[in-house]
Amino acid sequence: MPTTMPTQKVTGLENDPEKPKNRSHTFLGEDVAAPVLAWYGRKDRPKNDPVTKLIQLEQRREFEDVRGEIVALVNKTVRRWKLVLTWVAHTELDEPTEWNADLRPDWRKAVAAPEQVLAFVGCLNLKRLGLLHRIRRCACGATFFARFDHQFAHNDQCRLQALGADEARKVARAAYMRQLRRARKQLLMKKGETR
């Protein structure tokens, strides 16, 4: 009987934050975000889609405390979908000599569309990484995973356009302030005349 302790690799929970990333060209969370983006970008998502709701609620958390709403939504969805995760062993595509085991949805029990379930599980895995708020929709309508907190446009072209809009807003604001100052000055002059 082998007396050696098992190596750490036995956990291998898919997208586990503890699991080291061996592919340096992907940003943390990018692979986890893939099924979320695939679903969130679809035009035929059902109304009241829990994935969409969850992503949007997480965005709102920047401005208000909606944690109760989120917790209720997630737990209700898990119950309604009879979402059960099960261990699946597989060989590793990018490591020819390795195999691993991940927790994946049990399709014999799930009642929602596979793409929707994968997106939902992806959202929760992103949350565990602290990256769910990085699923964003660009002003152009494209959905994307922000590699950095400050990234709000999905590509350079949209970023420059957004900068342009910001510049236009600044110019309009400056013009408005000038107009306000002029009006105030005129008012003061009038007051001076009547004295």
The residues of the shown chain that bind Zn ion, judged by CB under 5 A, are 138, 140, 142, 154, 158
Min CB(161)–Zn ion separation in Å: 8
Q: Residue 139 or residue 172: which is nearer to Zn ion going by CB?
A: 139
Cα separation, 136 vs 38, in Å, equals 13
Contact 52, 123 (CB under 8 A): no
Q: Residue 13 or residue 158: which is nearer to Zn ion going by CB?
A: 158
Cα separation, 42 vs 55, in Å, equals 14
Min CB(13)–Zn ion separation in Å: 33
Q: Residue 124 or residue 162: which is nearer to Zn ion going by CB?
A: 162
Neighbouring C-beta atoms of residue 128, cutoff 10 Å? 15
Min CB(138)–Zn ion separation in Å: 3
List the structure tokens of 114: 């596979």
Min CB(132)–Zn ion separation in Å: 20
Distance between terminal CA atoms of the chain?
106
H or E segment and range at residue 126: helix 114-128
Q: Residue 112 or residue 138: which is nearer to Zn ion going by CB?
A: 138
